[in-house]
Amino acid sequence: MEPEPGTTRIYRCPVCQVDTPHAVRAKRAGRIALKCSNCDNGSLVDQGELQLYQHRWEDELRQILDNLGAHGEGRGGDEGE
């Protein structure tokens, strides 16, 4: 899925050093202009680098959720937990 202006992507901000959603502001010639939702810094990122970062982040999140599901079977949102 190509990043389009108006969408968001997870990226590590070079200024505030936070993995945070970044708004895709523009796209041209294989470069993506991003705006950090945490500090409002702008970043110019290679499209391939952004897609790789997003893919790695999604894989890590999927592994965390899978581990939580495997260790938390039978646990609902009951009071007292």
What is the pLDDT at residue 68?
87
Give 9-34 pLDDT, tens digit per residue.
999 999 999 999 999 999 999 999 99
The pTM score is 0.71
Structure confidence by residue, pLDDT tens digits, 37-58: 999 999 999 999 999 998 998 9
| Residue 63: partners with Cβ closer than 8 Å, 6 or more residues away | none
Q: Is the pLDDT of residue 66 over 60?
A: yes
Please state the domain extents for the chain: 8-69
Residues 5 and 26 sit within 8 Å (Cβ to Cβ) = yes
- Whole-number Å distance between alpha carbons of 9 and 23: 7
For residues 61 and 69, the answer to whether their CB atoms sit within 8 Å is no
